[in-house]
Amino acid sequence: MQNNKPNVLLVESGGHYKVLPHLYLMLSKVFDVEVLLPKSGISKVSFIPECKLVSCLSMYFIFLSALFRGRQYDYLYIATAPQYGRSGIDFYYVLSFLILVFFYGDKVIVHIRDNNKFFSSGSVYQNLLGYLRRKSVLDARLICFESKTLLSNFKDMASCDDSKLFVAYVYYSDFNFVDYVAFPYDSRSSIKIGLTGSIDSFRRDYDTLIHALGLLKPEVVNRISFAVLGECSGQAMHVINQIEKYCPVQYAPGYISDDDFLDIGSSCDFLLSPLKSELGYGLNKGTGAFGDAIFLKKNLLLPSFADPYVEYSAFSSYYEEGDSDSLAKSIDLFVNSPSSLILDDGCFDSFSSISVSNELAHKLS
């Protein structure tokens, strides 16, 4: 039987390999999909048929590789816009993407993860990079974002038309293929809290968490354990040792595989993401914490600045950044009030791959 689907080359250039299986699932609803990524990333990708994977030598050749292959496809979906790069190489990286858009702009769909990189305010060099990044994505067929918040703020800053903008999210609720189940809890239940992302004190505020644990009653702390749902390397053990003064911590050194992420994440009762606002999360920078919660179908606790439009409020609870009392009260509520862990039926439906793919197909028609 002939395949009448349009074909798309899904290109990952920023190392977000855990996102690829979700995007592959979403895009495969309406496209015949192949995936282009650096050779070093092949071993880090799961759940995508090997016959659908195409590699290039390095991340820095990814857009040139897409350029040479582009005429074979109806669309090129760039999973991460050119917002990363080592000093001295990032100009070449942005320029190669600009060339790709020059030749194939009508078929390029590009996903922005950090608005700040497109409106740089710093040195002349950084401003030039920001201008080139902005020009390149504005010449693309469609610009995708992780949230309505990021879309809205990019639109205001770039004076961009709605017809070029789309919310594609990051992870999809139907990838797990497990329905949300409200587990029975009682006042004696132990509670496992999943710490999202890698252990990274630059991006996350663990001091407030550790202080909050010290404010909880011993009978509450004794029922809590933590599981790290990201990479543990570098200074991670210092943070883990501080938390272990109060509660046990489950972690695995180094990179966490997709299978381990699913197994460990599914065993958690809720997720916690203690982000720092100075890095721009919320208005201009996305966080994978919402995607983790959608994928795992879990409650998420995080600072209120990370969701200024409360678009994830169906499964998220908020505390004030740097406020240990506020965080301690939120944790205490989850531990002592079992009903607070139960989510409404259908709260993840709008985040399914089917919902997003149908909207994307309509947007491109």
Q: What is the H or E stretch that residue 228 is in?
A: strand 224-229
Tell me if residue 259 falls in helix, strand or coil. helix
pLDDT digit string, tens, across residues 348-362:
988 999 999 999 999
Cα–Cα distance between 345 and 181 in angstroms, integer? 9
Give the model's pLDDT for residue 180: 47
332 neighbors 305 (Cβ within 8 angstroms): no
- Count CB atoms within 10 A of the CB of residue 312: 21
195 neighbors 228 (Cβ within 8 angstroms): yes
Cα–Cα distance between 151 and 158 in angstroms, integer? 10
Q: What is the H or E stretch that residue 335 is in?
A: helix 324-336
Instruction: Tell me the average pLDDT across 206-214.
Output: 98
Residue that is written with structure tokens 């203690």 in the block: 274
Token couple for 100: 């790709």
Distance of alpha carbon 306 from its chain centroid, rounded? 13
Please give the domain boundaries of the chain with CATH numbers for all domains. Answer: 7-172+351-364 (3.40.50.2000), 191-341 (3.40.50.2000)
- Which residues, in sequence order, are bridge partners of residue 15? none
The one-letter amino acid code at 48 reads I
pLDDT digit string, tens, across residues 140-180:
999 999 999 999 999 999 988 899 999 999 889 888 654 54
Instruction: Tell me the average pLDDT across 188-208.
Output: 92
- Which residues, in sequence order, are bridge partners of residue 224? 191
What pLDDT band is residue 85 in, cutting at 50, 70 and 90?
Answer: low
Give residues with Cβ within 8 angstroms of 15, minimum separation 6. 41, 59, 80, 84
For the chain, give the number of residues: 365
Token couple for 328: 């301690």
pLDDT digit string, tens, across residues 6-62:
999 999 987 888 889 999 999 999 999 999 999 988 888 888 999 999 999 888 899
Cα–Cα distance between 332 and 335 in angstroms, integer? 5
- Count CB atoms within 10 A of the CB of residue 189: 14
Give the model's pLDDT for residue 363: 95
Give residues with Cβ within 8 angstroms of 285, minimum separation 6. 113, 114, 115, 116, 150, 279
Percent of the chain predicted with pLDDT > 90: 67
